Amino acid sequence: MTTLGAILLVNSYFCGVKIVLVILGAISLGLAIAGIFLPLLPTTPLLLLSAWCFVRSSPRLYEWLINHPHLGPYIRNFREHRAIPLRVKVVSVTLVWLTIGYCIVSVCSGMIWLQILLFAMAAAITYHILSYKTLKS
């Protein structure tokens, strides 16, 4: 294989990786936006994944995401402070327990093993959210 052939092969490989990263970033971004409204989808980690994918594949998409008026602060606050605002913590934990509590009481009645699993999952999510520092406004 010639040097030019090797360069073209490497170039096409990186182009394919960039496309995959853009697609993964877009899917993660869509899930993050859904996570704003759905309590079991974690918004900030999905936005961080999107930012990671975009910074490695498309500087333009990364800049758009970081400078977005609604989504950018999630990423900047977490990157700079490794902290979550108190309001976000309270809303997140409340929605997790309301949603999972409803499932434990109504949906999974009679399935004790599933009720225990859901309770443990809610406790783990709560611990994870509360383990981060609280961002002072």
Residues in the chain: 137
User: What is the value of pTM for the model shown?
Assistant: 0.60
The encoded tokens of residue 8 equal 């073209």
Contact assessment for residue 74 and residue 49, using Cβ atoms and an 8 Å cutoff: no
Q: How many domains are contained in the chain?
A: 2
Domain of 12, in residue numbers: 1-81
pLDDT tens, residue by residue, 36-89 = 887 667 787 888 889 999 998 889 999 999 999 988 888 887 788 888 888 878
Q: Is the pLDDT of residue 13 over 70?
A: no
Same-domain pairing of 47 and 103: no
CA–CA separation, 43 and 108 (whole Å): 26
Same-domain pairing of 33 and 67: yes
